[in-house]
Homo-oligomer: A and B are copies of this chain.
C-alpha cells in the first residue's frame, strides 16, 4: 500500500486492525439496488446508505475510531452538523466528555441532537470569533483536552475506510462515488480501494458552489474557497480539503464532478420517490454526479454512497414537494 508523508502511521497493519475491530461498534452500511437505474441513468447503481448508521451519518465511523484510540478524556471539536453528533455519541459510549463548538445560528434540532448524546454545546457568534479560534480558546482553558478534527487525521480516514471495505466485499464495483467536503469520506474510499488492491475507480461529487476540490485536482495544487460555499449540501460547506486528504486524493481519486443544487435536489427526490430513502442533500450528491455526467458512468457497475440522512424537516418538505 501507498505510504503517506503526512501520515506514516497509515500502514497496512494499522488499516487491517481498524477493519477488524471497528465493525463491532458500528452499524454495517445498507446496500440497496437502485430502482430501474439502467433505464433511468444508463448504469447499474447500488446505493450504500449510511442514513441508518449510529447518529445518522458515516461520521460515526471516523469519530469512534479516532476517539477510541485516545487516552484523553476531554474532547473538543467544532461542527454544526453530523460530526458533532457523532463525536458526542462516541464520547457517551466511551465514557469521555466533549464540548462541541457550534454557530449560534445552528438549527435547534441539531443542538438538541448533540445534547441528547450528552455533549456540551458551546454556541458562538461566528462574526465575532471563528470556530477554530474558539476551539483554541477551549484547549487553552483545558490543557488535557484533545481537538478531534473532522477529516484531516489518519484515524478519521481509516475509520471511513471501513465503509469502502464493506462496499468492496459486497461486489467488485467499477466505480464508487462519494460526496466531497473536507475529503475525509472520499480519501477513506481511496484507502480502502488501495488496501484491497482493487481496480475500482473512486469518483468524488462536490457542490458546484464550493468546487475547491475539483479545482485543486485540475490544478494539481490544494486550493480553497474564499468563503463558506452557499449550497444546500451543508455537509460540504468546507473551505478546502484537509492536507492529508489532499495527499491521498491527488493521486488516488479518478475524477471530481461538480453538482448543482438543482441536480442534488433531483437526486434526493429520486431516493425519496423511487427508493423510499430519506437522505440529506449532501447524501444525494453522489447520484447527482451521475445525473450531471451520465456518460462517465455508462454501462458501469456503480456504488453510490449516501453519506447521511439528517436534514431539517422544513427543508426536506420543500425539496420533495417542489
Contact = CB atoms under 8 A, between A and B. Distances in A.
A320 B310 contact: no
A281 interface: no
User: Which of A36, A277, A278, A318: most chain B CB closer than 10 A?
Assistant: A278
State the majority secondary structure of interface residues on A.
helix
Interface in A44-67: 51-52, 56
Contacts of A310: 276
Interface string A244-285: 000000000000000000000000010011011110000000
Nearest to A271: B278
Contacts of A95: none
A30 interface: yes
B320 A276 contact: no
A313 B272 CA distance: 8
B276 A52 contact: yes
Contact of A313 (B52, B277, B314, B321): B321
A309 B52 CA distance: 16
Given A56-B276, A116-B36, A276-B56, A320 B316 contact: yes
A88 to B, nearest CB: 14
Nearest to A322: B313
Given A318-B317, A320-B316, A273 B109 contact: yes
Contact of A273 (B272, B313, B317, B320): B313
28 contacts: A30-B30, A30-B52, A32-B52, A36-B116, A51-B276, A52-B275, A52-B276, A52-B277, A56-B276, A109-B273, A269-B313, A272-B278, A272-B313, A273-B313, A276-B278, A276-B309, A276-B310, A277-B278, A278-B278, A313-B320, A313-B321, A314-B321, A316-B317, A316-B320, A317-B317, A317-B318, A317-B320, A317-B321
Interface of A: 30, 32, 36, 51-52, 56, 109, 116, 269, 272-273, 275-278, 309-310, 313-314, 316-318, 320-321
> Which 4 A-B pairs rank lowest in CB-CB distance, beginning with the nearest?
A276-B309, A317-B317, A317-B321, A51-B276
Given A51-B276, A109-B273, A276-B310, 19 more contacts: A30-B30, A32-B52, A36-B116, A52-B275, A52-B276, A269-B313, A272-B278, A272-B313, A273-B313, A276-B278, A276-B309, A278-B278, A313-B320, A313-B321, A316-B320, A317-B317, A317-B318, A317-B320, A317-B321
